Structure 1
Amino acid sequence: MRNPYWQGPATSNFDGLRFFNPGEPETDRSLRQLLRWQWGRKAAKWPRQVPVAPVMPARYVDGLRVTVVGHVTTLIQAAGLNVLTDPVWSDRASPVRFAGPRRVTAPAIRFHDLPKIDAVLLSHNHYDHLDVATLKRLHRRDAPLMVTPLGNDTILRKHIPDVRTAAGDWWSRFDLGGQAEVHIVPANHWSSRTGRDRRMALWGGFVLRTPAGSVYFAGDTGYGTGAAFRAIGERLGACDLALIPIGAYDPRWFMSAQHCDPEEAVRIMLDVGAKKAVGIHWGTFSLTDEAREEPPQRLHTALAAHGIAPARFEAGHPGTVVEG
């Protein structure tokens, strides 16, 4: 078998065919396990739609500001730089338009209200993160640099031949200009677009450093041993703001290796040394079994258990704006 996305020598997280999470719980699930989950599902019922009041972002921000768009899509504005994380403006997180999870919340920023986007941080290739339709729109409008872990650049070039990409392994660093830089960092997750390409493109998070402050974007991740997050804090230092997933975690026997729960999200915040955090990856697409409003409730409880003020880590609703 040949990897269609990345060919390179074996490394600490690549066996020559597939990427993996060294020293962490196994993320692969068998068909039998998938069927066990699906046949025995006790999924909470979500609302069909939750109203969202659109917000109008500034064109340019001198300081550090993050606006939550929905799911894991955020607009990071720092020192004049405009950066999007895993942008999804499509109605469904799916390879097709007629099926798959439909969004419950509209994007808090209308696409035509976006400022000029300088860079996009793409954590991995799952359809609720790498949305080709949105990326094509962004490329036509702004041609931003798309920074992503190894192999995802091949997917981007297939759909956008003249796309500007910067792809790297964990701990790669890229200059964004204006004394800003972005580092790709580890995450405990996996990848697949077709069902035949599991773990053939790399996944990860990012640390964005700018003169106005620093932001950690976790992408999708399980907590596992916590080693990845302690390493991020040790190697890159404390950050001003962390964007950490708090949803899509039930049932735990199936999801724990790949998606952290709110209690683990608090541990990630502490491990990376974030001054403040925003909970993402909840409330927009119904992907797993927990109730829509459960992640913020559990986050509040977890913060109280650690003696942490709620204002330090808030659940990001579409339209939430946080200053660094």
Structure 2
Amino acid sequence: MTKRNRYVTFPPTENFDGVRFANPGHPGTDRSVRDLFRWQRERRVPWPKRVDIVRAVPERRVSGLRATMVGHATVLIQAAGLNVLTDPVWSERAGPYGYIGRSRTTAPGIAFADLPPIDVVLLSHNHYDHLDLPTLKRLHERDAPMIITPLGNETIIRRAVPRARIATGNWGTRFHLPNGAVVDIVPANHWSARGIGDRRMALWGGFMLRTNAGLVYFAGDTGYGTGAIFKAMRATHGRPDLALIPIGAYAPRWFMAAQHVDPKEAVLIMRSLDARKALGIHWGTFRLTDEPWDEPPRLLAEALASHGMNRTCFEAFRPGQVVDVDPRQDSDAGSPN
């Protein structure tokens, strides 16, 4: 095993041994080659080749809090005049070189030409379905947004976009943004890799975005683990007005549970955060795992019903869908028992 990190030079911390990052106190995410081959032999569930959508055309600026779904983990957050994109991917495939990887089942919910000016990009980790260099290059050429990302990902971005404006840090790092907003990098139970030999050499995470229009949590990719990180976020950051939580890419559970939540666990995260409103992301755009295309929304509805929660408090977010959030309006989320 290599003794040198290829992306970052950083002193050892609770979540970094000097070479690789980790999820302290939570199940390990590493899988063997044997596990990978076993999973590939088991894969059977087909997806539709294409699902039609109705694209949105966003306003240039929004005074309140609004989210528009682009697809997968890409969401346009408009809050108090600030425009933020999460994990932007407009490429047709999630993979290297533009022709390797899974192709889109749904077109982007916003045409790139219709995007308003982007001030900030929140980039959670370096997997190809989240860190898409062609899209980041297009955004830089057009808007030169500030990119906020956990440690190590800046090295990958600068190879393709040398002049990119990047701010990076460990979990717990805070950044001040325009219009009085602040954003904190928060933990996630996940991992990272762009190729062979760099597993867990760049950090992963989620974000708490505090604006004058409300508090937004963006999970990135995460497993549930012990659930402790979500309760800690609630205690540290307060109650999110909007939570963007993954609900897809969870099957088979023996392979995915440590790194991706399923809809039942997504509801537990919402309840731990006591979020006023949640939207389910990371489903239906790229076929990464084995659940049927339309299963995440169905299981989400079942999970909400099992907790006696209204379906409107946690929706499966669909490309082109626009949701306005009023922080004064409460949901039926409740807290975990």
User: TM-score, structure 2 length as denominator?
Assistant: 0.95
Given that residues 65 and 213 in structure 2 are in contact (C-alpha distance below 8 angstroms), is that contact kept between their aligned partners in structure 1?
Answer: yes
Tell me, yes or no, if structure 1 residue 290 matches structure 2 residue 273. Answer: no
Aligned length: 323
Deviations 1:138-165 (A, max 9, x none): 0000000000000001111111111101
Query: What amino acid does structure 2 have at the position aligned with 1:280?
Result: I
| Structure 2 match to 1:61 | 62
| Structure 1 match to 2:13 | 11
Using the aligned pairs only, state the percent identity.
Answer: 63
Q: Superposed, which structure 2 residues align to 1:1-324 within 5 Å?
A: 1-42=3-44, 44-324=45-325
Choose 244-253 or 157-166, whichever is displaced more. Answer: 157-166
Given that residues 267 and 304 in structure 2 are in contact (C-alpha distance below 8 angstroms), is that contact kept between their aligned partners in structure 1?
Answer: yes
- C-alpha distance in structure 2 between counterparts of 1:45 and 1:249, whole Å: 15
Query: What amino acid does structure 2 have at the position aligned with 1:10?
Result: P
Query: Alpha-carbon deviation of 1:99?
Result: 2.6
- C-alpha distance in structure 2 between counterparts of 1:202 and 1:4, whole Å: 12
Query: What amino acid does structure 2 have at the position aligned with 1:26?
Result: G
- C-alpha distance in structure 2 between counterparts of 1:48 and 1:178, whole Å: 42
Query: Alpha-carbon deviation of 1:209?
Result: 0.4
Query: Alpha-carbon deviation of 1:98?
Result: 2.1
- C-alpha distance in structure 2 between counterparts of 1:153 and 1:273, whole Å: 32
Deviations 1:52-105 (A, max 9, x none): 111100001000000011001000000000000000000000102223100000
SS of the equivalent of 1:154 reads helix
Structure 2 runs not aligned, ≥5 long: 326-337
- C-alpha distance in structure 2 between counterparts of 1:177 and 1:320, whole Å: 26
| CA-based RMSD | 0.7
Query: Alpha-carbon deviation of 1:113?
Result: 0.3
| Structure 1 match to 2:334 | none
Structure 1 runs not aligned, ≥5 long: none
Query: What amino acid does structure 1 have at the position aligned with 2:39?
Result: W
- C-alpha distance in structure 1 between counterparts of 2:255 and 2:249, whole Å: 11
